[in-house]
Each structure stands twice: as C-alpha cells, then as structure tokens.
Amino acid sequence: MTGKQYLAVLRSPGVGVWFAVLVCQRFPVAAAPLALVFLGHAVTGSYAVGALLGGGHALAEAVAAGPLGRRFDRRPARSETALVLGVEAAAFALLALLATASPRAEWWTPAGMLALAGLGGAISAGAHGGLRALLVRLAPPERRVPALSLESAASTTVWTVAPAVVALLAVVDARLPILLMAAVAAAGALAGRRLLDPPRTATAHRARLWRISWPAMAYDGAMMFAFGAVSLALPVLLATHGAGAALSGPVLTAYTLAGIGGGLLYGARRWPGTPLAQAALLSAGIGLALGAAALVPVLGLVVALFAVAGLLQTPALTARAVSLQDRLPESQWAVGFSGMYAAGGLGYGAAGMTVAWLVERVGAQPAIGLCVALSTLVALGSSAAERRQLTTDAALA
C-alpha cells in the first residue's frame, strides 16, 4: 500500500519536475546558515560576522515569506519560481565575487555581504509556500496527504545533507559552498520554466487569512521553538551525561532521519481522527519525548527519546499543514503555507536566544524542560483555539 500511495503521487503529471525544483529551492536555504558562517570568517577573520550573515539571511527570509508567498497566489507559479530563484542565484554569485574581490575586508565588505545574504534569503522566501501549494494542485485530491508527506521527507533530507556538503567544500575554499548554492538556484530557475501550472479553482470569497492561519502559525512556531531549544542545548546536555559535545551531531542526525521515516509512514495510510486532532496528539507526544529526554539519567535513553520525537515531528507539521489547507480557499494556499514557514523560522530563532539565557542560569536540563513545556502548551492551546473557531463557524453556518 505504501508504494502505491507514493507512486501515484510521483506519476502525477508535473510532479517529477516539481521535485527537481523543490530540491533546488531548498538546498540554498539549508546550506546558507553554515556556508555564510564559513564565508564571513574567511573574509573578515571573525565568526561573529559569519553569524551576522546567517542571521541576516534567516531574518530576511522570515520577514519576506508572507508577502512574497502572496505573489504565488496571484501569479503563475512557473514564472514566479524562475524569477525568484534566478535573483537568488545572482545574489549568491555576487556574494562569492565580493568575497573574492576583498581578500582583506574593507569597511564596506561586511555591509555589502550582509545586504546580499539578506537578498538571497528574502527573494525566494515565498517559494516554500508557493511550491507546496502547487504540489497540492498537481497531486490527485485523494493523494494530498501522501504528497505533503513526500514533500516533508524530501525537505528534511535536503536539510540533513546540505550542511555536510557545505562542511566538505569549505575545507577547500569557503567560497565554494556559496557558488554551489548559486549554481543550484540557477538550475532551479531553469527547471522552474518547465513547471506544470494547472488552472486554479475560482473562489467566490477570500477567507479572513489572519483569523484562520494564526493557530497554525503558532503551532509551527512552537514546534520549531522546541526543536531549536533541544538542538542548541544538546551539547551541554550530553556533557552532563559524560559524553562529548561531538555526539550531538549523530544524535541530531538520528532525529532528522527518524523524521523522514515518520513523514513517510504518516502519508502511507489513513489515520483515525482529523488532521487537527492528529497534530495536537503528535505535539503532546513530542513534548513528552523531549521532556523525558531532558530528565532521564541514561544516555542511551536520551538518544532513543530524541529519535522518537523526530519520528513524530514531521507527521505533526504535515498534519497541521493539511488542516490549514482545509480551511483556506485555493487562492490563499501559498500565503498560508508561507506564513507557517515564517513562523517556524521565528520560533527557531527565538529558541536560540531563550536557551542561551536559560542554560547560563539554570543548566541544560531545566532549560530544555522549560522550553519544551512552553512549546507544548502553545501547540495544544493553538489547536484548541482552532477547534473553537470551527465550532463557532459551524454554528453560524
């Protein structure tokens, strides 16, 4: 059954090209944080400048995702994808050129690099939601959940592989990862011209976007806040168990690999309950697993609980996306998905500041426990808020 579900999606007209474009769009985003840190250090001698470039890229992406996602609702996906990935490729190519022309940093070099890194993050930010909305239109209606599960699994795979590729290339030259990001984005722009863009279903009304989407945005932000908290505090947590900080890499890899498997398992069959109820239940499971990982005294159990949380996270985010799509008209799918993506990025960024403050004051275990408890409460509270909205809407109908 599993193979049939996914084969039906992959055999849908236009989906093969769509997946190629997806990889080309996701790779630069996944590679950017580490690649920009290496580049900033290579040019200026300061890892702080590299962190500033990575932060500027992520912030610009989060701010621009919603407005630029709306463009995918209003313009043909084919031309919009080619445009934004082409500009992204040019921005990263210019960034590598600037680094080449400035072997010793002048006063303007960090500012110019920051501007280009921000442009590279912002310009394609709407493509995340735009491509997801396009996939839902390309796949058969009855295969929507397997299609979104495949998308989540593919995205997680790219996010797992990209940092390793960056690390290998940066050993040779810190500009090589940036050039590869530019080349991959350029390939995506060319492939984007071949995207199949089926006619959109006309809608007689536009939903109240913020009212409908804020619970889903809060949910995604909370889930990424939890992931950010545990991933950033993990080296300190492992040290309390007498393990080296280097073990955090394999543990996080197990987390993401479990997420890929969980996403594929979720899309392979129908599960009881509505997508909203499934998302709420999965968020509670993630909270329990991560909370227990912060408390158990045995290192092996910590690793196993992290893998359990990873197994649940991708299905949770997929179910939440399905639930939001159910409530939005087709003309607002891209901006709705983009808003969820932006909220997730903001949640991850907020986790960094929160964990840094908490670890210094209470230690890694309480810091993780507090962050996970907060994120679980927000996720469950946002799900309850959406259930109340649905009840109210049904009563008024």
pLDDT per residue as tens digits for the range 110-141: 888 999 999 999 999 999 999 999 999 999 88
| Confidence grade of residue 283 (pLDDT, cut at 50, 70, 90) | very high
Q: With 60 as the cut, is the pLDDT of residue 104 above it? A: no
Domains present along the chain, CATH in parentheses? 2-192 (1.20.1250.20), 209-396 (1.20.1250.20)
pLDDT tens digits, residue range 369-384?
999 999 999 999 999 9
Handedness of CA 97, 103, 107, 111 (dihedral sign): positive
Q: Distance (Å, rounded) from C-alpha 79 to C-alpha 84?
A: 9
- The amino acid sitting at 371 is C
Instruction: Give pLDDT, residue 230.
Output: 87
Residue 238 vs residues 90, 245, 288, 375, 397: alpha-carbon distances, Å: 41, 6, 19, 22, 53
Instruction: Give pLDDT, residue 103.
Output: 52
Query: Residue holding tokens 């908490």?
Result: 358
Instruction: Give pLDDT, residue 128.
Output: 95
Q: With 90 as the cut, is the pLDDT of residue 248 above it? A: no
Reported residue count of the chain is: 397
* Better-scored residue on pLDDT, 100 or 173: 173
* Better-scored residue on pLDDT, 234 or 287: 287
Q: With 50 as the cut, is the pLDDT of residue 56 above it? A: yes
Q: For the chain, what is the mean pLDDT?
A: 90
Q: With 80 as the cut, is the pLDDT of residue 245 above it? A: no
Contact 14, 196 (CB under 8 A): yes
pLDDT tens digits, residue range 326-340?
999 988 999 999 999
Q: Distance (Å, rounded) from C-alpha 134 to C-alpha 38?
A: 34
Q: With 80 as the cut, is the pLDDT of residue 397 above it? A: no
pLDDT tens digits, residue range 168-219?
999 999 999 999 999 999 999 999 999 998 887 755 455 588 889 999 999 9
Instruction: Give pLDDT, residue 382.
Output: 95
Q: With 90 as the cut, is the pLDDT of residue 251 above it? A: no
Q: Distance (Å, rounded) from C-alpha 50 to C-alpha 29?
A: 15
Percentage of the chain with pLDDT > 70? 95
- The amino acid sitting at 288 is L
Angle at 57 between CA 54 and CA 63, to 5 degrees: 140
Contact 372, 224 (CB under 8 A): no
Give burial (CB, 10 Å; 0-12/13-18/19+) of 131.
Answer: buried
Output the pTM of the full model.
0.89
Q: How far is CA 271 from the centre of its chain?
A: 24
pLDDT tens digits, residue range 19-48?
999 999 999 999 998 899 899 888 888 888
* Structural tokens at position 165: 């590729």
